[in-house]
Amino acid sequence: DAKTTQPTSMDCAEGRAANLPCNHSTISGNEYVYWYRQIHSQGPQYIIHGLKNNETNEMASLIITEDRKSSTLILPHATLRDTAVYYCIVNFGNEKLTFGTGTRLTIIP
């Protein structure tokens, strides 16, 4: 699996957009970019994934740069319930996931 680099922690004001960056400069052509989050004492929750194109669902948007070496997860209107550790993972799909340390996102009231 290609490695990813994420900031250790971030704060975001409630109601604002939270933009979480991820670098994956060694990603290979067929690897997807996945985002999961883990709220304290719960199992990870799938958020979104993409290969080349930008993706959007009811939870978030994923922006992948043209060279695919980095991506940004966007939570459009952050709420207090979005406080969690966010993991960016690159993977071929249907394989074991390697979790790094992620970004601890804190939503500030």
Partner 1 sequence: GAVVSQHPSWVICKSGTSVKIECRSLDFQATTMFWYRQFPKQSLMLMATSNEGSKATYEQGVEKDKFLINHASLTLSTLTVTSAHPEDSSFYICSATGRDQETQYFGPGTRLLVL
Kindly list the residues in this chain that would bind partner 1 in the complex (CB under 8 A): 32, 34, 36, 38, 41-46, 49, 87, 93-94, 96-102
User: In whole angstroms, what is the distance from residue 96 CA to residue 41 CA?
Assistant: 21
Residue 41 or 53: the one with the smaller Cβ distance to partner 1 is 41
Least spacing, CB of residue 16 vs partner 1, in Å: 27
Q: Tell me, rounded to whole angstroms, the distance of Cα 86 from its chain centroid.
A: 6
User: In whole angstroms, what is the distance from residue 34 CA to residue 57 CA?
Assistant: 13
Residue 45 or 65: the one with the smaller Cβ distance to partner 1 is 45
Residue 39 or 108: the one with the smaller Cβ distance to partner 1 is 39
Q: Is 57 helix (H, G, I), strand (E, B) or coil?
A: coil
Least spacing, CB of residue 60 vs partner 1, in Å: 14
User: In whole angstroms, what is the distance from residue 91 CA to residue 30 CA?
Assistant: 8
Least spacing, CB of residue 52 vs partner 1, in Å: 14
Least spacing, CB of residue 92 vs partner 1, in Å: 9
Sign of CA dihedral 12, 80, 65, 93: positive
